[in-house]
Structure 1
Amino acid sequence: MSVGEAVTAAEKLRRSRAGSRRLHKAAPTIFLAPAILLLMVFLLYPLLSSFRLSLLDWNGLGDGARFIGLQNWVRLAHDTVFWNSAWNNILLAFFSVVVQLPIAVVLAVVLDEASKGSRLLKILYFLPLLMSSVALGVLFKNVYDPNFGPINGILGAMGLYSWTQDWLGDPNFALGSVIAVVCWQNIPFYMVLFLAALSSFPREITEAARLDGATGRTIFWRLKLPHLQGTFRTAVLLAVIGSMRYFDLIYVMTGGGPENASEVMATYMYRTVFNSFELGYGSTVASAMFLIIMVIAAVSLRISKRFETEV
């Protein structure tokens, strides 16, 4: 092979390697492009469109949209119903974390330790999550019915007539009644989440701890609970975000009433757009809802991360 041919072959090899490196670097972009495109179409564009509509005074029909700048945002800042609904969302998120997650952890540990009948128990515990939220809302509207519902019926049969209430019609009890149903429905989800995390816990460690005389309580607090730190952090984040955008069950059970006692941001946004036909202001509520959820999710993530490192 002559010198010229050797140089040409070396140049071709260099170009081939350079092309392979470029293709290797471009591979992540190529594979991520469909997902990025879908996110832009179904997430980024609606989000930007919502912020754009928040600057308009428009009922959503025809060409009567009028640009009003930040007037909708000023109105939102003084809207007591919106801030009350945001507070209700915060209460829902708080009780979702302090009620759902501890019960879910206990059920997961019990099912993880159980041998006989554990499969049947898993199915029974998981049934609430399999039910449609709309069907569940209709069911519990009848359960809470002040005249024919089983709750007041049982209280009346026990002679506790003073305890009977209009659970969904009384502003003092409506939100709590709805939160109880929300927690009951979503506990199975977190139970399965913790159960999956416990399945990766080495059985040898549990057996060794028992041989050393450790009780079940000690094994749970000293070994299994630290093992669940990462899962618990994820569960907190999911519970908070899910609670901040909850809609269907509350809308079916109370519609946000009575007297806005069980109103949450999603139901208020829905009523503003589809009942009052204020698309501009409803978009403002939706945009504010997004910002609030982002802030609360970031704070929850930071707090749970700090708790994880401390524990």
Structure 2
Amino acid sequence: MFLAPAIFLLAVFLLYPLISSLQLSLLDWNGLGNTARYVGFANWEKLAHDTVFWHALWNNVILAVTSIAFQLPVALVLAVLLEKAGRGSRILKILYFLPLLMSSVAIGILFKSIYDPNFGPLNAALQAVGLDSLAKDWLGDPRLSLGSTIAVIIWQNAPFYMILFLAGLSSMPAEVNEAALLDGASEWTIFWRIKLPHLLGTVRTAVLLSVLGSLRYFDLVFVMTGGGPEGSSEVMATYMYRTVFNSFQLGYGSTIGSAMFLIVCAVAAVSLRFTRRYATEV
């Protein structure tokens, strides 16, 4: 009885939209009037041969890999440094956490101005120190737009994982660290032999959250590049948005959304199975 309100809300805002999206993926419909036409799995067949979708999925994979390779190590280093800072780290924690509290739209607009090839402070700073050759059209160059956007995503989301790692470090008994210092272990040895093994469970959770978040990322990419130029920074969510609201292909857009859901579920299932097996072996 106590769970009934929560179950009702999940059914209305999660289960019903999911079922509705799967139903719409079987239609050819522009979302206007009673013009819907049942096409079966034609949209899914089209998706299987859609090079734009597969390119967008590949960009999501790149985002996931770079998040693990750069975002998590940066967050871990910040967490370790803040843990050692003691009471003086309170202000630093607030400052480091600010990017996560800011609106993604505001951050996107801010960095579009920073990356501006003509008036942006980034190119101005490079030119001021004599590095004119490094000044680029960061968001207008297809070779640079995805990497430039990913850098902002890492900057915004690293504080979340920093807090996650800080929580993991705070759960380690202080006596363990003190005993290692008395035995003559260096800070480097303590980190690799004691702290990092203690954080393995937290690291696995952070990797899972990072991958799943990367596969359904939308806001910053949409604000900064809209998936351009020439689709170079397109991700699955921006492609779905453009298909539904720009091209008015509601049926095919629902197919893209349903495919995103299935991909995320598959990755989550594999990751959780691997995590459980690893934990059992350990």
Q: Does 1:119 align with 2:114?
A: no
CA contact (8 A) 1:245 1:265 kept: yes
* Aligned position for 1:161: 132
Alpha-carbon contact 1:236-1:304 (below 8 Å) kept: no
* Pair 1:230-2:201 in alignment: yes
How far apart, in 1, do the equivalents of 2:274 and 2:130 lie? 46
Count of matched residue positions in the alignment of Structure 1 and Structure 2: 282
CA distance in 2, matches of 1:307, 1:166: 45
Contact 1:144 1:168 in 2 (8 A): yes
Q: Is residue 127 of structure 2 the alignment partner of residue 174 of structure 1?
A: no
Which stretches in structure 1 are left out of the alignment for 5+ residues?
1-29
Name the residue aligned to 1:70: 41
Change (3 A) 1:308 1:174: farther
**Which ranges of structure 2 fall in alignment gaps of 5 or more residues?**
none
Contact 1:229–1:308 (CA<8 Å) still a contact in 2? Answer: no
1:263 shift after superposition: 0.3
Letter in 2 for 1:93: A
- Residue matched to 1:83: 54
* Mapped pair 1:294 → 2:268: no
CA contact (8 A) 1:174 1:258 kept: yes
TM-score by length of 1: 0.87
CA distance in 2: counterparts of 1:229 and 1:204, whole angstroms: 20
Secondary structure at the counterpart of residue 3 of structure 2 = helix
1:139-288 to structure 2, matched below 5 A, reads: 139-288=110-259
Note the alpha carbon deviations across 1:177-205, whole angstroms, 9 max, x for none: 00000000000000001111111110011
Residue 37 (str. 1) matches residue 11 (str. 2)? no
SS in 2 for 1:147: coil
Write the distance in 1 (CA, Å) between the matches of 2:40 and 2:99.
45
Letter in 1 for 2:156: Q
TM-score by length of 2: 0.96
1:245-284 Cα offsets, whole Å, 9 max, x none, are: 1111110000000000000000000000011111000000
CA contact (8 A) 1:137 1:249 kept: yes
> Which whole-Å CA distance do the structure 2 matches of 1:138 and 1:224 have between them?
39
Distance 1:95 1:309 in 2: 28
| Structure 2 counterpart SS, 1:98 | helix
Q: Which of structures 1 and 2 has the bigger CA Rg?
A: 1
Cα offset, 1:64, TM superposition: 0.7
Between the aligned partners of 1:88 and 1:310, the Cα distance in structure 2 is 34
Post-superposition offset of 1:102: 1.0
The separation in 2 between residues aligned to 1:304 and 1:172, in whole angstroms, is: 35
Change (3 A) 1:193 1:68: same
Letter in 2 for 1:111: L
Are the equivalent residues in 2 in contact too, given 1:233–1:301 (CA < 8 A)?
A: no
Contact preservation (8 Å) 1:146, 1:165 = yes
Question: Which residue number in structure 1 is paired with residue 99 of structure 2?
Answer: 128
On the 8 A contact 1:111/1:118 being kept in 2, the answer is yes
SS in 2 for 1:115: helix
Q: Residue 138 of structure 1 aligns with which residue? A: 109
Letter matched to residue 220 of structure 1: F
